[in-house]
Amino acid sequence: MTGAATNMRMKLPITCLILQIILIILFGTIVQYDDETDAKEWHEHLHNGSKDADNDFYYRYPSFQDVHVMIFIGFGFLMTFLQRYGFSSVGFNFLIAAFALQWATLMQGFFHGLHGGKIHIGVESMINADFCTGSVLISFGAVLGKTSPVQLLIMALFEVTLFAINEFILLTLLWAKDAGGSMTIHTFGAYFGLMVTRVLYRPNLEKSKHRNCSVYHSDLFAMIGTIYLWMFWPSFNSAITAHGDDQHRTAMNTYYSLAACTMSSYAFSSLTAHDGKLDMVHIQNAALAGGVAAGTAGEMMLTPFGSMIVGFLAGIISVLGYKYLSPILEEKLKIQDTCGVHNLHGMPGVLGAIVGAVTASLATPDVYGKGMEDVFPQIANGEFTASAQGARQAISLAVTLGMALLGGLLVGFILKLPMFGAPSDAICYEDSIYWEVSLRCLQTHIPQLPDPSYVQQVAHSHCSILYLMASLQAIFLCTGWQGEWAH
Amino acid sequence: MTGAATNMRMKLPITCLILQIILIILFGTIVQYDDETDAKEWHEHLHNGSKDADNDFYYRYPSFQDVHVMIFIGFGFLMTFLQRYGFSSVGFNFLIAAFALQWATLMQGFFHGLHGGKIHIGVESMINADFCTGSVLISFGAVLGKTSPVQLLIMALFEVTLFAINEFILLTLLWAKDAGGSMTIHTFGAYFGLMVTRVLYRPNLEKSKHRNCSVYHSDLFAMIGTIYLWMFWPSFNSAITAHGDDQHRTAMNTYYSLAACTMSSYAFSSLTAHDGKLDMVHIQNAALAGGVAAGTAGEMMLTPFGSMIVGFLAGIISVLGYKYLSPILEEKLKIQDTCGVHNLHGMPGVLGAIVGAVTASLATPDVYGKGMEDVFPQIANGEFTASAQGARQAISLAVTLGMALLGGLLVGFILKLPMFGAPSDAICYEDSIYWEVSLRCLQTHIPQLPDPSYVQQVAHSHCSILYLMASLQAIFLCTGWQGEWAH
Amino acid sequence: MTGAATNMRMKLPITCLILQIILIILFGTIVQYDDETDAKEWHEHLHNGSKDADNDFYYRYPSFQDVHVMIFIGFGFLMTFLQRYGFSSVGFNFLIAAFALQWATLMQGFFHGLHGGKIHIGVESMINADFCTGSVLISFGAVLGKTSPVQLLIMALFEVTLFAINEFILLTLLWAKDAGGSMTIHTFGAYFGLMVTRVLYRPNLEKSKHRNCSVYHSDLFAMIGTIYLWMFWPSFNSAITAHGDDQHRTAMNTYYSLAACTMSSYAFSSLTAHDGKLDMVHIQNAALAGGVAAGTAGEMMLTPFGSMIVGFLAGIISVLGYKYLSPILEEKLKIQDTCGVHNLHGMPGVLGAIVGAVTASLATPDVYGKGMEDVFPQIANGEFTASAQGARQAISLAVTLGMALLGGLLVGFILKLPMFGAPSDAICYEDSIYWEVSLRCLQTHIPQLPDPSYVQQVAHSHCSILYLMASLQAIFLCTGWQGEWAH
């Protein structure tokens, strides 16, 4: 079942080891503890009147852990909905995230965290590294089932780099605000991934269509991912906002945005089904759009009222996208978007960016008071007006879209190189190409085996519908024959 | 498989959209950020000497997230034990929780949080909204598998309202203490749900009996819910107690109560089985009773010793309830309690309320010192005696039982209205009524299909025992026939 | 299927109840709230200038909850990889953890926490109790599938006691540092368990070999455990380090160690497979070795660079252990290590201890500054030199190995006593011995049943490969016969 092309025996180990050794060398040469993780420096601060309780660890670490769960459990299990791709969904998510967070530490540090030629790191850089990783995992969702782990690592290598550049342009050059990453994380990750999958278009993908679907339990595993993403999104959007009211407000805005989004997702999932039945795809994905859409404006004085409107709209857009837009994108634009990231991260991300721009342009001292310094420092110190801030937010969206599409185009062509071991059209969405599927115990207690490749196909997805049908046919044959026999 | 009655095409969307639009309008008119989430107000506090670290976010948000996990993962997955009802268990839990927490914010705010006609919200109101939601989900457990999502939303609408009124009577009028909600959450939710399911009694429910059971993997999914509820119960009970020793003590008391409860649950589960085998139903549920029973007294000086005794008894009561009382309730009182909420939340809740009343009546300045002001302010300032506090706790239990039973009676009759699309007796505990069950990929690679409705029944629960038996019969038939053939 | 020997009807309840009653009595006589959980004492502190925010609850509780998740979800689900042992993996993990954490509170309190004859407890003692429990669960992994719950409780009883003694020798007598427990938790738990399983050697275990393997969904459940352990390991290693930079630094070092470990685990899993396919066993376990190996040195100035090297090596050692060493240990040394704890906890634990000794011996005031007082108080106050500290770390490893092996030997022989109801060689790795496996609904809608014991074997593991093969054979028989018929 595994051709020479997809054999990872050398490709994967060499890629992992080279990348990791480079990371270790770079960390050894240019990375240092920041003042809050360094024993000597922190105790200097204590000496100068700080208290241990002031250490950023206590402000940020609980949020970091929630984000961490979203990255590894949330994204990982959300993608296990495919009946035969659970190992790869969780496993490759795990691998590329473990690589991306290290690489992101370097790339983001290079652009934001240099102190005398050294990158200083602490919990905030860990959160930012996880954020950047999230962007890569969004792109992974677009190409899920159609790429080898080596391709994914190469994609992560380039995407993290471009992410850091885009983030630098937005936050440092344009002074845009995007604490929850509607633009930097979601819009960038989604359109980057969509362009990659466009370049990697597979005309004969329907050969694997029977595997590109869920079964009962795989949908339940996916719900684990969905619920964790949903629950911890308030922590995600508030993880790196300013201390105090900012973190508090951002978490609450996101909480209400998600709740409203869930209601509209269920409503439209049922409304758009001919028999009014809810579709797991919508529930697993659209109900999360409210978190994406509150990513930029969440820290602003959006109010729970505004947050609920944003979430409500995001849910509707997302369901309609899955129902009507995705098929068009696939047929007309040849974009094969496995997880529908355009509906969960793309459109809601753009919505979030627009909401952020509008909300920023409406900021007034009456509403923000002295809090303006935290949310919009440049407006507070008179460097530019609220409407100028809004304009910079809008420009940031355009820049992000450009970077994502160009970047995805470039990287897509790189990933086309045959050496990376992409699966053929007939064996996409299939774990057994890259994973040892446990049949060990088989040989031991069943002497004679049917054609192994067939058994493997069946066994490794013990809930395979194929197998279900086959068994039922057997039942009817035997029963039918019974009837014959009776006469 | 879906009759006109259960078709949600119009009912569900209209219900969700109307409710959500009403919520948005109400939030827009009467909800405001509180002093700790409002940029301007909080910076006034900072101006007056507060520090960002004093923001309640840092005292409450980690507890909030643990509670949030209990509500969405804990309750949601605990109910996935049914073999064909996993989508609905997690999915409807998700829907009604998303609605209930918004509605609860308004109802509880109306009774506790009004400031100049506006409801002020922050992390504490978010925790309280999740608490109220928990009560609705307990009632959901009693009617699980027998109600439509529309019925559940209507139930949530009324139950949240009654919850807020009952909470107001207990905490504001009676000055009772109930930080972990043994009374307000568990007793109320359980008896409310039991009365609702009594009113909705289905004489012919045994038609669906074959679906009202678990299979191997569905029990494992349920254990995810159980373990999360168990682990985070200390956070639940301590989430809104006073800062400092109170939160610390409450979490620790609950931790030991749960540990002791687990030991007695295992002991009695094995003891009450004819062959000494453990029953997953007991482990999944009874082991949690210790958290329920520590809900009221957890914040008091119960001591780990007292907590362990309470948990130990709660586990025993709960297992015995599942084993001996539930069948009686069903036969004699016609109460069809799907999840046995009476055993997990009802009786342990009452036990917790009694323990709380006794512990309160024993409170002395020797034991509490200045801490009395946090736990029993009225005793501290001499407004009334410890025994008076105990009496108020006892009265609160009676009030809660009355409110729950009357409320459940009322709401039960409302839910009987045919328009809400309840399933018929023959298709209870069945996902495929309300959910699109993925058979898409089927058609693609198996040309001829057996009777679809049968296939659907089987396929959507790929681990259906029915299907298992059928296959085995086929095997024996064929093998048997082989025997014949040999001669 | 259940013989008299394995019938738990009396054994399990009596064991649980006696142990719990003893625990309750001991807690009632010698356990007290510490100053931070006692209402009176804490308010004395407030009276003397402390603030509620200074309560250790706010420094430690979020870390505690992460550790708690690792113990109950992490360890519990990691062991569900066995196809027919999911109930026992999660369920017995739950039971022995609930017992061990109470017993550990007493044992550790007896050695560290006595104040005037009373054990004072708070969140730090809760974390330490969970740590000690982790050690027992590691040993559980070595004997998984081959022991009765009564044996496990007896093992926990003795192991916790020996753990506390060993911990006392290391931390109090030798003044060694081991915040994350590379020695006290992982090395001790692993070698203790390996010796126990050696003494309990089963020559005819291959009779159960067909059950000692995973199936598709059981591997996915196991990944839930893996990912949670991986994500929260930074909290584990930093949970009881000093406040401020120490907790912050430890978490960060562990984070990078784990990331590097994941990369090398994937690389070597693929490299050591003939066809380059990844092995779930390696991903589920080896990727965690980086957390184990950073347990001792994590709080020191290891630097992210050093942490990554340690994690990188740990992953390699662990994969090679699973691939080449485990089979040798089983054949030559007769050590039947079900979960391969030697590869995940044993060798990486020893590595971590060595890294800790080396790192300690290199500690200089230049690097640590005033932070030396937190990490190495004896070096800071000149009681002994860095190299002396290193020597003490090395001696601690030797002591731990000795205690673990001798303790395991002793306890192994105790567990051999027949009365504890161990399963026979032919029914290991089998839930249905100790658990009621739900067949209730069966009788209701399938009149005639095949041989129940066979059905039970099959049904309770609805994904049994045996059953899969049988069905396929049936299919081929029938189809073959069809061919005949055609002529």
Render each residue's pLDDT in chain A as its tens digit; 487 residues: 445 677 888 999 999 999 999 999 999 999 999 999 999 999 999 999 999 999 999 999 999 999 999 999 999 999 999 999 999 999 999 999 999 999 999 999 999 878 889 999 999 999 999 999 999 999 999 999 999 999 999 999 999 999 999 999 999 999 999 999 999 999 999 999 999 999 999 999 999 998 998 989 999 999 999 999 999 999 999 999 999 999 999 999 999 999 999 999 999 999 999 899 999 999 999 999 999 999 999 999 999 999 999 999 999 999 999 999 999 999 999 999 999 999 999 999 999 999 999 999 999 999 999 999 999 999 999 999 999 999 999 999 999 999 999 999 999 999 999 889 899 999 999 999 999 986 544 333 332 233 333 333 333 333 333 334 344 444 444 343 333 333 3
Q: Provide the 10 A C-beta neighbour count for residue C456.
A: 15
B468-485 per-residue burial string, b: 16 or more CB within 10 A, e: under 16 = bbbbbbbbebbeebeeee
Contact A232 B122 (CB under 8 A): no
Q: What is the rounded radius of gyration, in angstroms, for the C-alpha atoms of chain A?
A: 24
Stated as kind and residue range, the H or E segment containing C121 is strand C118-121
Contact A438 C219 (CB under 8 A): yes
Q: Which residues pair with C120 in a beta bridge?
A: C32
Say if residues C194 and C392 touch (Cβ distance below 8 Å): no
- Provide the token pair at C137: 């669960």
What DSSP designation does C424 have? P
Q: What is the rounded radius of gyration, in angstroms, for the C-alpha atoms of chain B?
A: 24
Q: Which residues pair with B121 in a beta bridge?
A: B33
Say if residues A142 and A194 touch (Cβ distance below 8 Å): yes
Q: Provide the phi-psi class of B243: left if phi over 0, else alpha when psi is between -120 and 50, else beta.
A: beta
Distance from C-alpha of B346 to C-alpha of B339, rounded to nearest angstrom: 12
- Provide the token pair at C399: 């002591």
**Burial category of A387 from C-beta neighbours within 10 Å (exposed 0-12, middle 13-18, buried 19 and up):** middle
Could you tell me which residue, C280 or A447, shows the higher pLDDT?
Answer: C280
Q: Provide the phi-psi class of B7: left if phi over 0, else alpha when psi is between -120 and 50, else beta.
A: beta
- A191, HSE (Cβ side, Cα atoms, 13 Å): 24
CA C285 to mean position of chain CA atoms:
11
Tell whether C99 is within 8 A of chain B (Cβ).
Answer: yes
Q: Provide the 10 A C-beta neighbour count for residue B364.
A: 11
- Does pLDDT of C459 surpass 60? no
Tell whether A9 is within 8 A of chain C (Cβ).
Answer: yes
How close B37 comes to chain A (CA, Å)? 5
- Provide the token pair at C379: 């070096």
Tell whether B16 is within 8 A of chain A (Cβ).
Answer: yes
Say if residues B337 and B322 touch (Cβ distance below 8 Å): no
Among chain B residues, the shortest Cα distance to A223 is held by: B90
How does residue C312 score in pLDDT terms, banded at 50, 70 and 90?
Answer: very high
Q: What is the mean pLDDT of residues C185-191?
A: 98
pLDDT value for C421: 87
Distance from C-alpha of C170 to C-alpha of C87, rounded to nearest angstrom: 36
Q: Provide the 10 A C-beta neighbour count for residue B449.
A: 14
From residue C41, give the alpha-carbon distance in Å to each of B59, B301, C34, C216: 20, 12, 8, 54
Distance from C-alpha of B403 to C-alpha of C350, rounded to nearest angstrom: 61
Say if residues A78 and A225 touch (Cβ distance below 8 Å): yes
Mean pLDDT of chain C: 90
Say if residues A235 and A71 touch (Cβ distance below 8 Å): no
Residue with tokens 């067909």: C210
Contact C59 A58 (CB under 8 A): yes
Say if residues B220 and C221 touch (Cβ distance below 8 Å): yes
Q: What are the start-end ranges of the E strands in A109-260? A: 114-115, 118-121
pLDDT value for C438: 62
Residues 445-464 of A with CB under 8 A from B: 463
Helix (H, G, I), strand (E, B) or coil at A49: coil
Instruction: Count CB pairs under 8 A between chains A and B.
Output: 277
CA angle, residues C210, C212, C218, in degrees to nearest 5: 110
Contact C471 B469 (CB under 8 A): no
What DSSP designation does C181 have? -
pLDDT value for C193: 98
* Segments of chain B with pLDDT less than 50: 1-2, 440-487
If DSSP states are collapsed to H, E and C, what string results for chain B? CCCCCCCCCCHHHHHHHHHHHHHHHHHHHHEEECCCCCHHHHHHHHHCCCCHHHCCHHHHHHHHHHHHHHHHHHHHHHHHHECCCHHHHHHHHHHHHHHHHHHHHHHHHHHHCEECCEEEECHHHHHHHHHHHHHHHHHHHHHCCCCCHHHHHHHHHHHHHHHHHHHHHHHHHCCCCCCCCHHHHHHHHHHHHHHHHHHCCCCCHHHHHHHCCECHHHHHHHHHHHHHHHHHHHHHHHCCCCCCHHHHHHHHHHHHHHHHHHHHHHHHHHHCCCCCCEEHHHHHHHHHHHHHHCCCHHHCCCHHHHHHHHHHHHHHHHHHHHHHHHHHHHHHHCCCCCCCHHHHHHHHHHHHHHHHHHHHHCCCHHHHHHHHHHHCHHHHCCCCCHHHHHHHHHHHHHHHHHHHHHHHHHHHHHHCCHHHCCCCHHHCCCHHHCEECCCHHHHHHCCCCCCHHHHHHHHCCCCCHHHHHHHHHHHHHHHHHHHHHHC
Q: Which of B62, B215, B252 sits opposite C62 (nearest CB)?
A: B62
How close C44 comes to chain A (CA, Å)? 21
Distance from C-alpha of A280 to C-alpha of A216, rounded to nearest angstrom: 10
- Provide the token pair at B10: 């119009």
- Tell whether the torsion through CA atoms of A271, A273, A275 and A276 is positive or negative: negative
pLDDT value for B438: 62
pLDDT value for B3: 58
Using CA atoms in the order C392, C397, C400, C406, what is the torsion angle rounded to 10 degrees?
-120
Total residues belonging to chain C: 487
Measure the N-to-C terminal CA separation of chain A; round to a whole number of Å: 45
Distance from C-alpha of B80 to C-alpha of A170, rounded to nearest angstrom: 44
How close A141 comes to chain B (CA, Å)? 20
Distance from C-alpha of A95 to C-alpha of A78, rounded to nearest angstrom: 16
Find chains touching chain B: ≥3 CB pairs under 8 Å: A, C
Among chain C residues, the shortest Cα distance to B364 is held by: C40
- C82, HSE (Cβ side, Cα atoms, 13 Å): 25
Residues contacting A188, CB < 8 A, separation 6+: A135, A162, A163, A166, A400, A403, A404
- Provide the token pair at B170: 């207990």
**Chain B environment of A54 (Cβ under 8 Å):** 53
Q: In what order do the strands lie in the sheet with A118-121?
A: A31-33, A118-121, A114-115
**Chain C environment of A459 (Cβ under 8 Å):** 215-216, 465, 468
How close A300 comes to chain B (CA, Å)? 9
Residues 303-322 of A with CB under 8 A from B: 303-305, 308-309, 312
Which of A297, A341, A290, A299 shows the shortest CA–CA distance to A142? A341
Residues 217-236 of A with CB under 8 A from B: 217, 219-220, 223-224, 227-228, 230-232, 235
Distance from C-alpha of B232 to C-alpha of B322, rounded to nearest angstrom: 24
From residue B116, give the alpha-carbon distance in Å to each of B24, B31, B32, B110, B120: 20, 11, 11, 11, 10
Residue type, B262: T
pLDDT value for B469: 37
**Chain A environment of C319 (Cβ under 8 Å):** none
- Tell whether the torsion through CA atoms of B78, B195, B237 and C62 is positive or negative: positive
Tell whether B425 is within 8 A of chain C (Cβ).
Answer: no
Q: What is the mean pLDDT of residues C234-258?
A: 97
Tell whether A259 is within 8 A of chain C (Cβ).
Answer: no
Distance from C-alpha of C134 to C-alpha of C153, rounded to nearest angstrom: 14
Q: What is the mean pLDDT of residues C334-346?
A: 97
Question: What's the predicted TM-score (pTM) here?
Answer: 0.91
Residues contacting B134, CB < 8 A, separation 6+: B67, B70, B71, B75, B181, B185, B189
Say if residues C423 and C6 touch (Cβ distance below 8 Å): yes
Q: What is the mean pLDDT of residues C398-408?
A: 98
Say if residues B136 and B189 touch (Cβ distance below 8 Å): yes
- Provide the token pair at C10: 């009396």
Contact A232 B463 (CB under 8 A): no
Residues contacting C25, CB < 8 A, separation 6+: none
Find chains touching chain C: ≥3 CB pairs under 8 Å: A, B
pLDDT value for C418: 86
Q: Provide the 10 A C-beta neighbour count for residue A161.
A: 18
How does residue C175 score in pLDDT terms, banded at 50, 70 and 90?
Answer: very high
Helix axes A216-238, B86-112, angle to 10 degrees: 30
Distance from C-alpha of B431 to C-alpha of A228, rounded to nearest angstrom: 22
Distance from C-alpha of B167 to C-alpha of C440, rounded to nearest angstrom: 40
Distance from C-alpha of B17 to C-alpha of B153, rounded to nearest angstrom: 12
